Each structure stands twice: as C-alpha cells, then as structure tokens.
Amino acid sequence: MSVRSYRVVLPEPWRRIPTGPGRSERIAEMVAEAATRLPRDVPPDQAGPWRRELERRMTADVQAAADNGAVDVYLPTDTWHGFLIGASFVVSLVAPPGLVPDGATGEEAAALLITELAAGEGADLMSIDGTPWVRVESVEEADPARADIDVGTRRVEYLTPHPDIPQRWIIVAFSCTGAGDPTDEVADVTVRLFDAIMGTWRWIERGDPFDGPGNPLL
C-alpha cells in the first residue's frame, strides 16, 4: 500500500472538521448552519453572543483533540430521526510509546495489536478494507471533574496500525451519552450507526480519485 488518507461514508447530519487546514472555515460553516435553526423570535443581541460562544467552544474542543493527535473530528449538526445525538468521534494518528519497535513490519505491528488489545475485555478482532482492526467497547461513569458532562458515556474505539508506518496507529474513538443513560436504547442505536460508518472505512492510496493535497495520514 501507499496510504495517504482514508474516507468514510457519513450519513446526515454528521459533519467532518479537520484539525489542520480548513478547520476555521468548517467550524464557521457549522455554526452558521446551526444558527439557521434558532427560533425566529430570538433577538440579534442574543443570537450574536450565542454564535460566538458556540464557535469558541467548538474551536477549543477541536484544538484539544488536535493536541492529542487527532486529524479529524466528526459531529452531528442536527437531530437524527427526531432526537438529538449526544455523540462524536475522532480519528487520530498516534505513536504508542515503545510498543512497536523500529524496523517492525506491518505484519509484526498487527500481531502486537492483536496480542496487546484483542484479548482484553470488550475487545473484538475484525477486518476492514483488508487490514486488521481491534474494536473495544466500554461504559464510563460520569467524570466529576467535568461540569459540562454529568452522565456516563458509551465508548467505542477502533484501532489499527498504519499500513505503511507500523510504528504509528490509527485510533477512531467514539463516545455517546444516549438519552442520559449510556446503556439505553438510544445509545445502542447510536453505537450501531457508528459501527456502520466504520464499515465504510476505505484507505486512500496515492493516485486514488479521492487523493488530494493535505491528506492527514501521511
């Protein structure tokens, strides 16, 4: 392989925010889109501060993800089948410290991935677009240090070594809150939606019609 990036099929109302070039423009577009759904009787002196605060929070969240190796952040921008989706997922490119030695082949990195993760609780081994992935699912209690999230979260992570750079791994990390309970039916449906999105993951190789400048997985 000569992987330059990836693509997934996104259903409405999900949107991608790159953490690199184009980030500010995409956030501004999403804030403008959200503003169109404000009630018509909201006065401008309230709508303006609301837009600025939403843009500030989105920018801070995306920057925090970038600081941890994220290349893309995905968020829903509207209701889905009538309910709000308290969910997001992040695609990151990271180097697990000391786990994959220099000079290791892709096969050796994949074997390490399977050995280290696939045998753990809540972990499953699968193949997506010809490469091995480990899927790990868990439920985490609410973090008392975070005042903005007072409920638990359902978390799903997909992990695989980069096909061309075995010392670096792709981690796709999803979280949702359900309808206030991370184990409720809303959470179950949202997790299934994320799994369906991951099922569409395809590598973009050099010369692919989807290849372009600024791809994040080089």
Set out the domains of the chain in order of their start, with CATH numbers: 11-70 (no CATH), 79-211 (3.40.1000)
pLDDT tens-digit map of 108-166: 777 777 777 777 778 898 999 998 899 999 999 876 665 556 678 999 999 998 888 87
Q: What is the pLDDT of residue 167?
A: 80
Q: What is the pLDDT of residue 63?
A: 96
Percent of the chain with pLDDT over 90: 46
Q: What is the pLDDT of residue 29?
A: 93
CB 50 within 8 A of CB 38: yes
Return the CA Rg of the chain.
Answer: 19
Q: How far apart are alpha carbons 176 and 70 in whole angstroms?
A: 18
Q: How far apart are alpha carbons 54 and 60 in whole angstroms?
A: 10
The DSSP bridge partners found for residue 182 are none
